[in-house]
Amino acid sequence: MTPHGKLTRRELLTGRFRQAWDRARAAAVSSTTEAESAVAVIQGRRCLAYRNLVCTTCYERCPEEDALVIESGLPRVVSANCTGCRVCHDVCPAPENAVLMINAQDKGR
**Does the protein bind ligand SF4 through residue 55 (CB under 6 A)?**
yes
Q: How far is the CB of 108 from ligand SF4 (least distance, A)?
A: 16
Q: Which residues pair with 10 in a beta bridge?
A: none
What Cα–Cα distance (Å) separates residue 28 from each residue in 21, 35, 85? 11, 10, 14
Residue 37 near residue 107 (C-beta atoms within 8 A): no
Interface residue with ligand SF4 among 25, 37, 48, 72 (CB under 6 A) is 48
Q: How far is the CB of 85 from ligand SF4 (least distance, A)?
A: 4
**Does the protein bind ligand SF4 through residue 41 (CB under 6 A)?**
no
